[in-house]
């Protein structure tokens, strides 16, 4: 199965998702500017994958620094960390992973003995930072496997499953969040029929979800976003599964623009709506969805991108929010790597962190 972020032979490699499905090409990231731009341009995207890439990106940006003291190294580190954090505002995994790297750095300050030499200490610090990035990647892979198992327990053989955006292997360290049970079911002969919303304007459903699922032999049908209601009404959909970029303490979940509409439709048609949310995506410090910063992107993504020629009058006013918030009342259950959480979410989500 393809992985979006790899660290091999001292090289940070990112699968350039902006080229998919036409071309499968990894790019090497060596600087803070390169990781910032890869995140901003969605060459690496999806909340958990952004977190993993940012952790490695921070490491590669500091690995060649020759600082003369812990203090100097830490100052450089913090400046680079703050810079990478500005790449995108919504997915909390970006900040979560960067914070975790910083915590790791400062956890080493006490233990340093500055012997036999600071240079050796510095080499040790860098090694430990790389190990932390590896741990973030591995933990996410394991979280996805666990969500796959929990998620599969909610599904039955032969079900029709609708998904929005891409919360598959491309969006995580491996396996995906909401697509992990689909892959697991595929191995166990569940015969799911997946419907992938194309996901305007950046087409993550068309370019990425339908690509990765069909590559693994899953029965996937691509539909336009405005066809979701129609396939639900026909009775083709038994469950909706989606990912999440940031979940607030009350269970409101920000995910790709269009998700909240799908959730409202699912409720209308009596279809369960499952949001897959690793604990790294749950932000208890954010009280509700109203407090989540929603990224706004350029209007040209609506008017021009992916078209052969502009599809709107030149200079037309646009509004292009990249995410929306699904109100917790539309979410049937939240699948995490620690188990399935049911309402009341405000009461049950904090229990995951006890």
The residues annotated with a catalytic role in the active site are: 245
255 interacts with ligand MRU by CB under 6 A: yes
Nearest to 92 by CA among 278, 257, 307: 278
Task: Report the Cα–Cα distance between both ends of the chain, in Å, rounded.
Answer: 34
Binding mask 73-92 for ligand MRU (x = CB under 6 A): ------------------x-
Residue nearest to ligand MRU (CB): 243
3-state class of 202 per DSSP? coil
Nearest to 250 by CA among 204, 282, 211, 294: 282
Residue in 174, 207, 256, 328 binding ligand MRU, rule: CB under 6 A: 256
In the complex, least distance from residue 44 CB atom to ligand MRU, rounded to whole angstroms: 9
Which residue stretch of 22-30, 41-49, 101-109, 261-269 sits at the interface with ligand MRU (rule: CB under 6 A)?
A: 41-49
Phi, psi of 61 (to 5 degrees): -75, -20
CA–CA dist 82, 75 (Å, integer) = 11
Which residue stretch of 46-54, 71-79, 121-129, 134-142 sits at the interface with ligand MRU (rule: CB under 6 A)?
A: 46-54
Which residue stretch of 26-34, 39-47, 98-106, 117-125 sits at the interface with ligand MRU (rule: CB under 6 A)?
A: 39-47
CA–CA dist 326, 275 (Å, integer) = 10
172 interacts with ligand MRU by CB under 6 A: yes
In the complex, least distance from residue 42 CB atom to ligand MRU, rounded to whole angstroms: 6
Helical H runs in the chain? Answer: 32-40, 47-62, 70-84, 92-109, 118-152, 180-187, 210-215, 228-233, 259-268, 300-303, 345-348
Our CB check for ligand MRU shows the closer of 87 and 129 to be 87
Phi, psi of 36 (to 5 degrees): -60, -50
CA distances from 74 to 38, 55, 122, 305 (A): 24, 15, 11, 40
Residues 263 and 330 sit within 8 Å (Cβ to Cβ): yes
As a dihedral over the C-alpha atoms of residue 294, residue 298, residue 299, residue 300, rounded to 10 degrees, the angle is -150
In the complex, least distance from residue 61 CB atom to ligand MRU, rounded to whole angstroms: 21
Angle at 268 between CA 265 and CA 269, to 5 degrees: 90
Which residue stretch of 58-66, 74-82, 238-246, 313-321 sits at the interface with ligand MRU (rule: CB under 6 A)?
A: 238-246
In the complex, least distance from residue 99 CB atom to ligand MRU, rounded to whole angstroms: 18
Give helix 118-152 / helix 180-187 axis angle, nearest 10°.
Answer: 60
Which residue stretch of 51-59, 209-217, 240-248, 303-311 sits at the interface with ligand MRU (rule: CB under 6 A)?
A: 240-248
Of residues 93-152, which lie at the interface with ligand MRU (CB under 6 A)?
Answer: none
Residues 17 and 206 sit within 8 Å (Cβ to Cβ): no
169 interacts with ligand MRU by CB under 6 A: no
280 interacts with ligand MRU by CB under 6 A: no
Residue in 209, 322, 326, 336 binding ligand MRU, rule: CB under 6 A: 322
Residue in 14, 20, 97, 167 binding ligand MRU, rule: CB under 6 A: 167
Handedness of CA 50, 44, 319, 265 (dihedral sign): negative
207 interacts with ligand MRU by CB under 6 A: no
48 interacts with ligand MRU by CB under 6 A: yes
Our CB check for ligand MRU shows the closer of 177 and 332 to be 177
Per CB under 6 A, residues contacting ligand MRU are 42, 45-48, 91, 165, 167, 171-172, 177, 204, 243-245, 255-256, 322
């Amino acid at each position: 199965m393809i992985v979006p972020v790899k660290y091999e032979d001292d090289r940070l490699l990112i699968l350039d998702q902006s080229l998919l499905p036409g071309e499968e090409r990894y790019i090497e990231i060596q600087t803070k500017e390169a990781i910032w731009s890869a995140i901003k341009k969605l060459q690496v995207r999806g909340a958990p994958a952004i977190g993993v890439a940012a952790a490695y990106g921070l490491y590669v940006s500091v690995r060649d620094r020759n600082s003369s003291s812990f203090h100097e190294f830490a100052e450089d580190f913090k400046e680079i960390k703050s810079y990478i954090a500005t790449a995108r505002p919504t997915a909390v995994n970006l900040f979560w992973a960067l914070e975790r790297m910083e915590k790791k750095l400062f956890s080493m300050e006490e233990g340093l003995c500055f012997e036999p030499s600071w240079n050796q200490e510095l080499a040790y610090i860098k090694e430990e930072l790389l190990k932390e990035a590896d741990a973030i990647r591995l933990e996410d892979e394991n979280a996805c496997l666990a969500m796959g198992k929990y998620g599969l327990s909610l599904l039955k053989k032969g079900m029709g499953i609708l998904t929005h955006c891409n919360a598959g292997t491309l969006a995580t360290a491996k396996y995906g969040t909401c697509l992990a049970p689909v892959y697991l079911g595929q191995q166990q002969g569940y015969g799911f029929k997946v419907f992938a919303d194309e996901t305007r304007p950046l087409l993550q459903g068309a370019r990425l979800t339908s690509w990765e699922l069909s590559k693994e032999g899953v029965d996937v049908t691509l539909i336009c976003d405005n066809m979701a209601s129609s396939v639900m009404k026909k009775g083709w959909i038994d469950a909706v599964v989606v990912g999440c970029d940031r979940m607030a303490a009350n269970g409101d979940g920000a995910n790709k623009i269009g998700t909240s509409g799908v959730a409202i439709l699912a409720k209308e048609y009596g279809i369960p709506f499952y949001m897959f949310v690793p604990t790294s995506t749950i932000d208890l410090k954010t009280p509700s969805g109203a407090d989540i910063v929603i990224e706004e992107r350029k209007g040209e993504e609506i008017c021009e991108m992916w078209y052969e020629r502009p599809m709107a009058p030149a200079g037309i006013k646009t509004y292009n929010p990249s995410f929306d918030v699904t109100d917790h009342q539309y979410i049937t259950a939240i699948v995490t790597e620690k188990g399935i959480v049911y309402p009341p979410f405000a009461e049950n989500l904090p229990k995951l962190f006890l």
